[in-house]
Amino acid sequence: MTLALVGLSHHVAPLALRERVTLDLEAAATLARSLGDAVCLSTCNRTEIYLEGVPETDAVGALERLAREPLDGVLYRLHEDAAALHLFRVAAGLDSLVPGEGEILKQVRDAFEAADPGPLLGRVFRQAVVVGKRVRSQTAIGENPASVSSAAAALAAQVFGELTGRRVLLIGAGRIGELAAANLASRGAEIAYVANRTVDTALDLARRFDGEAIALSDISSRLADVDVVVSSTSAPDTVLRAQGVPSRHRKPLFFIDIAVPRDVDPAIAKLDGCFLYDIDDLEAVVAETLALRRTEAERAEQLVAEEAERFRTWRASLDVVPAIASLRAHAEEIRASELAKVDRRMSDDALRTLESVTSQILNKLLHLPTIRMKEAAVTADGAEYADAVRYLFGLEEETL
């Protein structure tokens, strides 16, 4: 079993590239199944494919077909313990654009459950979910604004100084849109309009904030009445184009696009009075919170390291466990063979005593070698110890 990871994220890939390889949960699961034993984790900030025994070139090819360009110099590749550690950090929110953000743990769990992974990937993803939960329950890394939605609200507050009395048009009534609305409203903004492909869904969210639900086709007619537009749909194409933005002279209009792929036409940034921020612009907001999170992040890193060590120990033991089992089976076979030669005229009590004594001798004889092999398993020499045992006791020959 070989664990590998091929992926790209906000650390190495620009938004224009990331949005081309972003997949919804169903598409990501379909891609994973097409590769074999794999899990595809695709979010607004990363698309990663975890593999067990699948050629990395297959995953690279799949990502390059999505990107419609070679990805040399952009993709990162990790293997074995490094791949597991990376996944644990992702699940803990330590690799996110906003460190400690809470949405990623559910995304990791959903990606795992939607795929059909084998025992190695199953083990590493279950451990990732465990460490993600531990970080959230045992540290305070998520107590400061820890999501893209909260960072978007913080960015809007930076732009205006304060949001009291500012009117917002929200595009997208999903979970991210709901969080964005809550964060903006908590800072004093008025959620004036909620636009969504399904108006009934927009109505439910708009009612919570005393706003008005509108169809996507009505967005342009409401722009003159708002100060901020926050867009967070899962649409595959642009929702608002530059041609749909009317001329403005009364006051500036700010667009915050936290969707990947992007909802808002980048050309809008060139229009008079319009200012556009996308998800990559949130990095400046995130930087201001890092100092507050540093201590908790260190504690979270410790928890991740502990889980990574558990995985490393388990993974290393796979090399020596078969050798230990073969050695014990070989010794037991010899013991049973020799006991079969005992004179059967012995009493039942004597036979039981002999059986017990020889079993104890075997267990004591093999106890220390078993302990030493398990200890060696977590070192670089673990596999060599296992090979030496197989050679010394002729265990390889028995399987030929």
pLDDT tens figures, 248-293: 656 789 999 989 899 999 999 999 889 999 988 877 666 666 666 6
The amino acid sitting at 187 is R
CB 69 within 8 A of CB 107: no
Query: What is the reported pLDDT for 399?
Result: 47
What tokens appear for 37 in the block?
């034993």
Query: What is the reported pLDDT for 382?
Result: 63
Digit-coded pLDDT (tens) for 164-215: 989 999 999 988 888 888 889 988 999 999 999 999 889 989 999 999 999 9
Spatial CB neighbours of 245, under 8 Å, sequence gap ≥ 6: 220, 223, 253, 268, 271, 274
Query: Domains, the chain, ranges and CATH?
Result: 3-138 (3.30.460.30), 148-272 (3.40.50.720), 318-398 (no CATH)
Please give the Cα distance from 169 to 151 (Å, whole number).
17
Please give the Cα distance from 194 to 180 (Å, whole number).
11
Q: How many residues does the chain have?
A: 400
Ranges of residues in the chain whose predicted pLDDT is under 70? 1, 143-147, 248-250, 284-293, 319, 343, 376-383, 396-400
The amino acid sitting at 268 is I
Query: Mutual orientation of helices 148-160 and 175-186 as an angle, nearest 10°?
Result: 40
Mean predicted lDDT score pLDDT of the chain: 86
Tokens 């297959």 correspond to: 58
Q: Is 40 a catalytic residue?
A: no
What tokens appear for 127 in the block?
């451990």
- Spell out the alpha helix ranges (H) of the chain: 15-21, 25-35, 56-67, 80-91, 103-114, 119-138, 148-160, 175-186, 199-208, 219-222, 283-339, 348-377, 382-392, 395-398
Q: Active-site residue among 44, 121, 189, 303?
A: 44
Tokens 């620009």 correspond to: 14
CB 19 within 8 A of CB 257: no
Query: What is the reported pLDDT for 339?
Result: 84
Percent of the chain with pLDDT over 90: 44
Residue 385, Cβ density class (10 Å: 0-12 exposed, 13-18 middle, ≥19 buried)? buried
Spatial CB neighbours of 361, under 8 Å, sequence gap ≥ 6: none
Burial track 109-138 (b if 16+ CB lie within 10 A, e otherwise): bebbebbebeebbbbbbebbbebbebbbee
Pick from 40, 97, 125, 65: nearest CA to 260 = 97
Q: What are the CA-CA distances from residue 31 to residues 26, 112, 157, 275 (Å)?
A: 9, 13, 40, 37
Beta strands 190-196; 167-171: pairing state: parallel
Tokens 């004591």 correspond to: 364
Query: What is the reported pLDDT for 174?
Result: 87
